[in-house]
C-alpha cells in the first residue's frame, strides 16, 4: 500500500511536470521567486550543500536544480530528496512562492525546525510532503485552509501535539498521512466528516489515545491505518464501509465483539493484532480474497472459518488468542 501511495505522488508530479513542459526560451525567473529561493537556500545551506551548487543569484532560477517553473517564470515545484548535506530549517520565505503547487522534502536527516505558518499563503499547493527528516513542532492549523491541497504527507519526523481538526476541510484532499511522529490526543471528531473523498488515512506510529469518532465508519476511505497508538473502545463500525479494502488497527487497546462484524466484500488486508478484541471470527472471513491477515494476541475464540485463502496463512497470525482453533491452528476439540 505504501508503494501505491508513492506511485500516486509520482503520477501527480509527472502530470504537473508535463503541464509545465514549455520551450526553453520562455523561462524567465520571476524576481520575487528568485528572492524567496535565495532566502530558502540561506536557511538550508549551513553546510554548503551540493544541492544548491548551481543556485547562483546571477542565473535564471528556473534552471536551478530541484525547481520547476511555469511559462511565466513562477516556481511551481520545489523538491529535494536524499541529501544529508542539507542542514538547517525550512525558511518562512517558502510562503512567498505564491504559485507553488508541489513541495517535497524527503530523507533530509539534518533538516530541523518547525513548519512555517507562512505556508498559509500557498493557495495553489496540491502536494505537501515532509518525510524522513528531523522536523518538529505542532502541525499548523493552516493546512485545513489550503483549498487546492490533494496530498499531505507529514511522515517520520518529530511533529507533536494534537491533530488539527481543520484537516478535514480541504475539499480536494485524497491522501492524508501523519504517521511516525509524536502526535497525541484523540483522532479529531471532524475526521468523520471529511469535505473531500479521502481514500487513504494513515495515523500509525504515534501516541494517539481515546475512542474513534463513529462517523469515520461512514467515510469512503479505502486504506485505514491506525496501528501502534493507544486508541481504545469500540472500532467495529469502521468495517461498515463497502469502500474499505485495507485496515490495520494493531497494537492498540480496542475492545469489541468481532463475531457480528460485517466485513466489506473487497477487503484484502486485515490486521487487528495486539488488542482486546473478543468473540469469534466472522464466517464471512473465509469468503474474502485476503492477501494479508493478522488477528493474533486478542481474546478471540471458536473455529477459524474455512475457505479460500485462510489455510495458506501462518498459524502465528492466529496465535495467542483465548481459544481459536482449526486450520492453520490445531483442530478444535
pLDDT of residue 27: 64
User: Strand 111-112 vs strand 136-138: parallel, antiparallel, or unpaired?
Assistant: unpaired
Element (H, E) at 14: helix 2-19
Please check the confidence at residue 230 and state whether its pLDDT lies above 90. Answer: yes
pLDDT of residue 45: 87
pLDDT of residue 25: 44
pLDDT of residue 23: 40
Q: Which residues is 223 bridged to in the sheet?
A: 200, 246
Give the closest residue to 252 by CA, choosing from 267, 234, 279: 234
pLDDT of residue 48: 83
Please check the confidence at residue 250 and state whether its pLDDT lies above 70. Answer: yes
Please check the confidence at residue 261 and state whether its pLDDT lies above 70. Answer: yes
DSSP string, 178-215: --SSEEEEPPPGGGGS-SS---EEE--SSEEEEPPPGG
Q: Provide, rounded to the nearest whole percent, the portion of the chain with pLDDT above 70.
A: 92
Q: How confident is the model at residue 47 (pLDDT cuts 50, 70, 90)?
A: confident
pLDDT of residue 6: 52
Please check the confidence at residue 220 and state whether its pLDDT lies above 80. Answer: yes
pLDDT of residue 133: 98
Q: What is the dihedral of CA 111, 117, 120, 122, to 10 degrees?
A: -30
Q: How confident is the model at residue 227 (pLDDT cuts 50, 70, 90)?
A: very high
Order of strands, sheet of 230-233, starting from the edge strand that comes earlier in the sequence: 136-138, 158-161, 182-185, 207-210, 230-233, 253-254
Domains of the chain, each with CATH number or no CATH: 2-325 (3.80.10.10)
> Cα(176)–Cα(316) distance, rounded to whole angstroms?
31
Please check the confidence at residue 21 and state whether its pLDDT lies above 90. Answer: no
Least confident of 13-17, 217-221, 236-240, 325-329: 13-17
pLDDT of residue 18: 46
Cβ-count burial of 312 within 10 angstroms (0-12 exposed, 13-18 middle, 19+ buried)? exposed
Give the mean model confidence (pLDDT) for residues 263-290. Answer: 96
pTM of the model: 0.92
Residues in the chain: 333
Mean pLDDT over all residues of the chain?
A: 92
Please check the confidence at residue 92 and state whether its pLDDT lies above 50. Answer: yes
Q: How confident is the model at residue 105 (pLDDT cuts 50, 70, 90)?
A: very high
pLDDT of residue 209: 99
Give the closest residue to 234 by CA, choosing from 206, 215, 257: 257
Give the mean model confidence (pLDDT) for residues 212-232. Answer: 96
Which carries the bigger pLDDT value, residue 292 or residue 17? 292
Please check the confidence at residue 137 and state whether its pLDDT lies above 60. Answer: yes
Which own/partner contact pairs does 60-68 have at CB distance under 8 Å and 24+ positions apart? 60/27, 60/28, 60/29, 61/29, 61/33, 61/34, 61/37, 62/27, 62/28, 62/29, 63/27, 64/37, 67/37, 68/16, 68/17, 68/20
pLDDT of residue 311: 84
pLDDT of residue 95: 98
The three cell numbers locating residue 306:
474455512
Please check the confidence at residue 276 and state whether its pLDDT lies above 50. Answer: yes
Amino acid at each position: 500500500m505504501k508503494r501505491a501511495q508513492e506511485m500516486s505522488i509520482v503520477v501527480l508530479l509527472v502530470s504537473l511536470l508535463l503541464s509545465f513542459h514549455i520551450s526553453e526560451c520562455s523561462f524567465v525567473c520571476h524576481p520575487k521567486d528568485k528572492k524567496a529561493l535565495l532566502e530558502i537556500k540561506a536557511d538550508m545551506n549551513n553546510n554548503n550543500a551540493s544541492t544548491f551548487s548551481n543556485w547562483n543569484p546571477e542565473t535564471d532560477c528556473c534552471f536551478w536544480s530541484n525547481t520547476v517553473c511555469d511559462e511565466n517564470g513562477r516556481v511551481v515545484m520545489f523538491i529535494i530528496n536524499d541529501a544529508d548535506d542539507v542542514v538547517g530549517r525550512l525558511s518562512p520565505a517558502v510562503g512567498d512562492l505564491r504559485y507553488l503547487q508541489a513541495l517535497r522534502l524527503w530523507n533530509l536527516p539534518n533538516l530541523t525546525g518547525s513548519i512555517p505558518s507562512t505556508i498559509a499563503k500557498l493557495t495553489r499547493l496540491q502536494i505537501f510532503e515532509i518525510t524522513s527528516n528531523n522536523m518538529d513542532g505542532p502541525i499548523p492549523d493552516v493546512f485545513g485552509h489550503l483549498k487546492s491541497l490533494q496530498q499531505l504527507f507529514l511522515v517520520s519526523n518529530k511533529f507533536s501535539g494534537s491533530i488539527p481538526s481543520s484537516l478535514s476541510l480541504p475539499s480536494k484532499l485524497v491522501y492524508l498521512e501523519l504517521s511516525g511522529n509524536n502526535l497525541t490526543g484523540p483522532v479529531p471528531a471532524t475526521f468523520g466528516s471529511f469535505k473531500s473523498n479521502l481514500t487513504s488515512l494513515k495515523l500509525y506510529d504515534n501516541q494517539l489515545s481515546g475512542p474513534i469518532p463513529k462517523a469515520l465508519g461512514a467515510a469512503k476511505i479505502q486504506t485505514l491505518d491506525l496501528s501502534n497508538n493507544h486508541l481504545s473502545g469500540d472500532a467495529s463500525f469502521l468495517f461498515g464501509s463497502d469502500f474499505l479494502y485495507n485496515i490495520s488497527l494493531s497494537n492498540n487497546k480496542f475492545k469489541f465483539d468481532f463475531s457480528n462484524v460485517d466485513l466489506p466484500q473487497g477487503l484484502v488486508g486485515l490486521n487487528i493484532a495486539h488488542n482486546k478484541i473478543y468473540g469469534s471470527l466472522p464466517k464471512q472471513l473465509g469468503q474474502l480474497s485476503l492477501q494479508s491477515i493478522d488477528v493474533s494476541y486478542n481474546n478471540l475464540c471458536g473455529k477459524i472459518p474455512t475457505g479460500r485463502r485462510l489455510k495458506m496463512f501462518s498459524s502465528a497470525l492466529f496465535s495467542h488468542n483465548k481459544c481459536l482453533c482449526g486450520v492453520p491452528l490445531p483442530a478444535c476439540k
